Amino acid sequence: EQKSTINFGAGPAKLPQSVLLQAQKELLSYNSLGISVLEMSHRSSDFSKILNKTESLMRELLNIPDNYKVMFLQGGGSGQFSAVPLNLIGLKEDRCADYLVTGTWSAKAAKEAEKYGKVNIVHPKLNSYTSECTILCRLSSRNSRPSSWTLNPSASYVYYCCNETVHGVEYNFIPETNGVVLVSDMSSNFLSRPVDVSKFGLIFAGAQKNVGCAGVTVVIVREDLLGHALKECPIVLDYKVQAESNSLYNTPPCFSIYIMCLVLEWIKNNGGSIAMENLNNQKSSLIYDIINNSDGFYVCPVDQPCRSRMNIPFRLKTEEGDEALEKQFLDGAAKRGMISLKGHRSVGGIRASLYNAVTLEDTEALATYMKEFKKQHM
């Protein structure tokens, strides 16, 4: 049966209905084996098939070149904030890395990296939400690239967060690093559009937004970057160890990998990353158009060129928001079955997350509500 609740949560987030139904059908007995994936040995041939299928779907959907390893690890996106410097900051003797900071998640990653080497904050996070976003925007709209961001040519890598989930800031270009290894956190826009993997040294993404449930983090890494981990790198975070053991150095998050496999199949059956991009453009335009044409009733503090297609933060009436009215908005939405629209606690306001599994119809329901609410309260 169709669910009547529409989940606009930022993650863990909505999963495709067909994926949930398939998981339900197979929960007690996977593939007529008489046991659940939850009970299966990670070294069994049945689980190997799931793992291999997940990897090959991922390779197909993102067109991942052969000289990249794909790993399915634990520890979340935050685990990668540590794993990235532990594995890569020693690529060059200076142990420096450049971090482009555009919001909460890149700021956290930079702070963690400072434990392991010298971190150059190329793109400082300013105190205010708005000014921080404006800076990124100004740079991108002048078509600037990190070459004007005073990158350090002897950095081991350049790091950025492709989509800032809290602030709703998304890159619509790949930073040019002039040969320095590029690392990207794509947790909240992974597989929402095609990406040229060959431009990156490493991409990582937690699954719980666009490609599954919590528990598994995908790491795609170029082979020549393996084997440079610092001595103190915990073995479960060592990319070389995990890559050589096909993500089976220790017990992987089996069930989360299985769910990811189902989601990747769903993406493939629905037209792959290009179809996801078209749909995501359509959905986000629907909401941004309402914001833009609301005569200031809805205010999105992010400047146009770096507005996220995945997470749309907005306030009511002013940039600081009319909190009482925002509460009314959220209550009214909940009455219509639309949940998890509250902005992140650090920024307040409203946030609509429109990941792959959120349908056009779901988005239309929100759009209709936004128009009605404005009419009643303008």
Looking at residue 307, the DSSP 8-state letter turns out to be B
Task: Report the C-alpha gap between 141 and 162 in whole angstroms.
Answer: 16
Task: Report the residue from 102, 140, 165, 247 that binds ligand PMP according to the rule CB under 6 A.
Answer: 165
Active site residue 303: no
Q: Which stretch binds ligand PMP (CB under 6 A): 34-42, 71-79, 110-118, 262-270?
A: 71-79
Cβ atoms of residues 156 and 181 within 8 Å: yes
Residues with Cβ within 8 Å of 203's Cβ and at least 6 positions away in sequence, in order, are: 183, 184, 186, 190, 195, 197, 218, 219, 220
Task: Report the C-alpha gap between 225 and 260 in whole angstroms.
Answer: 26
Q: Of 14, 69, 105, 283, which residue is the catalytic one?
A: 105
Active site residue 266: no
Q: For 183, what's the count of Cα atoms within 13 Å in the CB-facing half-sphere?
A: 29
Binding flags for ligand PMP, 99-128, as an x/- string (CB under 6 A): ------x-----------------------
Shortest separation between residue 79's beta carbon and ligand PMP, angstroms: 6
Cβ atoms of residues 351 and 343 within 8 Å: yes
Q: Of 69, 92, 98, 185, which residue is the catalytic one?
A: 185
Q: Of 14, 69, 209, 342, which residue is the catalytic one?
A: 209
Task: Report the residue from 185, 265, 326, 362 that binds ligand PMP according to the rule CB under 6 A.
Answer: 185
Task: Report the residue from 18, 26, 46, 76 that binds ligand PMP according to the rule CB under 6 A.
Answer: 76
Q: Is 161 in the site for ligand PMP (CB under 6 A)?
A: yes
Looking at residue 146, the DSSP 8-state letter turns out to be G
Closest CB to ligand PMP among 98 and 370?
98
Cβ atoms of residues 147 and 84 within 8 Å: no
Closest CB to ligand PMP among 294 and 349?
349
Shortest separation between residue 186's beta carbon and ligand PMP, angstroms: 8
Closest CB to ligand PMP among 61 and 84?
84
Shortest separation between residue 62's beta carbon and ligand PMP, angstroms: 18
Looking at residue 350, the DSSP 8-state letter turns out to be E
Task: Report the residue from 140, 184, 187, 353 that binds ligand PMP according to the rule CB under 6 A.
Answer: 187
Task: Report the C-alpha gap between 95 and 88 in whole angstroms.
Answer: 9
CA-CA distances (angstroms) from residue 10 to 39, 77, 170, 193, 216? 29, 14, 14, 18, 17
CA-CA distances (angstroms) from residue 226 to 21, 31, 111, 221, 335? 39, 36, 23, 8, 51
Q: Is 352 in the site for ligand PMP (CB under 6 A)?
A: no
Task: Report the C-alpha gap between 120 and 3 in whole angstroms.
Answer: 47
Task: Report the residue from 17, 18, 36, 78 that binds ligand PMP according to the rule CB under 6 A.
Answer: 78
Q: Is 277 in the site for ligand PMP (CB under 6 A)?
A: no
Q: Which stretch binds ligand PMP (CB under 6 A): 35-43, 148-156, 181-189, 248-256?
A: 181-189
Task: Report the C-alpha gap between 126 and 104 in whole angstroms.
Answer: 11
Active site residue 149: no
Which of positions 197-256 make contact with ligand PMP (CB under 6 A)? 206
Looking at residue 148, the DSSP 8-state letter turns out to be G
Closest CB to ligand PMP among 76 and 272?
76
Closest CB to ligand PMP among 192 and 294?
192
Closest CB to ligand PMP among 64 and 218?
218
At 251, is the secondary structure helix, strand, or coil? coil
Size of site (CB under 6 A) for ligand PMP: 11
Structure tokens at 116: 């392991």
Which active-site residues does the annotation give?
105, 185, 209
- Which residues would be at the binding site for ligand PMP (CB under 6 A)? 11, 76-78, 105, 161, 165, 185, 187-188, 206
